[in-house]
Copies of this chain bind each other. A is one copy, B any other.
Amino acid sequence: MKPKNDMKNSYPGSEKIYVPGKLYNIQVGMRKVNLTDTVKIIDGKRITRHNDPVYIYDTSGAYTDPKIEIDLEKGLPRLRESWITGRNDVERLSEITSQYGRSRTADKSLDPIRFKNVQLPYRAKKGKEITQMYYAKKGIITPEMEYVAIRENLQNEMLGIKSHITPEFVRDEVAAGRAIIPANINHPEAEPMIIGRNFLVKLNTNIGNSALSSGIEEEVDKALWSCRWGGDTLMDLSTGDNIHETREWIIRNCPVPMGTVPIYQALEKVNGKAEGLTWEIYKDTLIEQCEQGVDYFTIHAGVLKAHAELVGERLTGIVSRGGSIMTKWCISHNQENFLYTHFDEICEIVKQYDVALSLGDGMRPGSIHDANDRSQFLELDVLGELTQKAWAHNVQVIIEGPGHVPMQKIRENMDKQLTSCHEAPFYTLGPLTTDIAPGYDHITSAIGAAMIAWYGTAMICYVTPKEHLGLPNREDVRNGVIAYKIAAHAADIAKGHPGAQVRDDALSKARFEFRWKDQFNLSLDPERALEYYKEGSKNDGEYCTMCGPNFCAMRISQNLNDCTK
């Protein structure tokens, strides 16, 4: 199985480069966009001026390195394995731990769809702590920390822009819980990245099948596709058949951290009956996924039995799948949410693999009517309490947020999260700023996402045009990712992130100088830009069909500059 062709191409005008570490023997992959010279004719003489290349944060992993042979059946190179084993605090297990994982492995009927090149998992040695937060608190800068510092900062370094981002700063932020580096020791293929509001805004993409559609090949393709366009992390939200096997394929080929919502698979194991869920089934699912290499788990531990009655105040009830499942469980059993009551045990499990927790917002508003209501804010307080519990275990934590929130309520949502959850990174879905645009919710939500990211959200979860209507296809994934790259980048600029504007300035300079190809190569989606340009243009000259030759303001303006020189 090979990646599709359009996955393997380099970005146009770009090359993959690697920047070596100073503390560790690491190589940080980046994208370098080479630009053409500026050419001017002044007094009949042709004068050329060099344009510096632009370095771009690159989430596409080995797929855009023509020197690396990719075979999806083997999986990606295990970049971090030597770093992990080099710390002497993990051991390789002689067999996988989870009951379910073992039964799947033993099931010969699954052979045709199984990823073959599976390796046995690692786990912390007894008595050892291995999370990035643990190291950070101990004052240790890990290779992962240096990697993200280089990755966040390359543009600045190349241009001599002063930046606050150093390996030491990364360590500080992780130690304080203000940032996380999701990095399961069983997903050594992933390139380290950091999520925190003092770093570049990140974006998550959701993929995954449902009972009604999508096979493994299609999901792997969507996963890689989302990384190509700029997804920083990836959630596999599969709820259909063969979740275990699908996940293995995705993780082994995924260059970015990967998250799941384990309750989805647990529910499949009890045939979709929420009341059939037990702690034991859930626990086995957690271990199964820890050992496959999931980097972060969404856990809806903040949905309490007492909150269920507040749902009646809402226009759209509960719209989080995990939230609705756990509420149903609480009501059916008249017991407190087992994710809440077993939260310490959850931490004990995940810390052995350095899986981060993404505390789910089971009560996120599903309509602007329900935004910032009691249900949402009471849950947020519970998530704050759980954050401190997790931190006591040195487990890394992010907090999930809404949803649907009108613009005037976004700031309050952000501020409340920071105080309730002790500055743990916020990770929001949009928010959508109006409910009236199904088919265009990547746009309604990109507006909210840009704003909340400016205010301090560390990672935004994309929404595709298919939101509320169906599963996204390949083109929807592309449209969703680009809309969210726009939101994240607009927020980086608004936050004054050092160097964020370099790409804008280089692109605008290219635009002003009619270096069309440079303009396109610097854009978020060079292929689309070129396609639209070609649609109208039969010329390669100094104007496009929008204004024609006499009305191009930039051309007239250029000529003015020449006159006054």
| Contacts from A to B (Cβ < 8 Å) | 210-213, 239-240, 264, 267-268, 272, 274, 308-309, 311-312, 315-321, 323-325, 327-328, 331, 366-369, 404, 406-408, 433-440, 442-444, 446-447, 450-451, 454, 465-471, 473, 482-483, 485-487, 489-491, 493-496, 501, 503-505, 507-509, 511-512, 519-520, 522-525, 528-529, 531-533, 535-538, 544-554, 556-561, 563-564
Contact = CB atoms under 8 A, between A and B. Distances in A.
A545 B312 contact: no
Given A318-B557, A447-B451, A470-B532, 5 more contacts: A212-B536, A318-B560, A331-B560, A434-B490, A440-B528
21 contacts: A211-B549, A211-B550, A212-B536, A239-B547, A272-B550, A315-B508, A316-B512, A316-B554, A318-B556, A324-B556, A366-B553, A369-B501, A433-B450, A434-B493, A435-B504, A438-B520, A438-B532, A447-B450, A466-B532, A470-B537, A473-B535
Given A451-B407, A470-B533, A512 B317 contact: yes
Given A436-B523, A560-B324, A407 B494 contact: yes
A535 B476 CA distance: 12
Nearest to A309: B564
A516 to B, nearest CB: 9
Contacts of A404: 508
A548 B212 contact: yes
Given A439-B525, A493-B433, A529-B438, A486 B317 contact: no
B312 A486 contact: no
A270 to B, nearest CB: 10
Contacts of A434: 486, 489-490, 493, 504
A274 B556 contact: yes
Contact of A482 (B440, B485, B528, B564): B440
A443 to B, nearest CB: 5
Top 3 A-B pairs ranked by shortest CB distance? A470-B536, A317-B557, A272-B550
A408 B492 CA distance: 10
Contact of A468 (B406, B473, B511, B528): B511
Contacts of A501: 368-369, 406
A499 B244 CA distance: 48
A447 B212 contact: no
A199 B467 CA distance: 31
Contact of A439 (B366, B439, B509, B523): B523
Main secondary structure of the interface of A (DSSP, over half): helix
Which one of A308, A434, A439, A446 has the greatest number of beta carbons of chain B within 10 Å? A434
A150 B503 CA distance: 48
Contacts of A538: 212
A312 B440 CA distance: 40
Contacts of A446: 443, 446-447
A512 B437 CA distance: 15
Contact of A437 (B324, B367, B433, B525): B525
Given A331-B560, A367-B508, A532-B465, A454 B316 contact: no
A323 B553 CA distance: 8
A552 B447 CA distance: 26
Given A213-B536, A547-B210, A440 B486 contact: yes
A210 B318 contact: no
Given A309-B564, A407-B490, A556 B325 contact: yes
A524 B317 contact: no
Contact of A487 (B439, B447, B494, B531): B447
A552 B267 CA distance: 13
Given A367-B505, A560-B311, A536 B469 contact: yes
A324 B558 CA distance: 10
A439 B503 contact: no
A436 B549 CA distance: 24
Contacts of A550: 211, 239, 267-268, 272
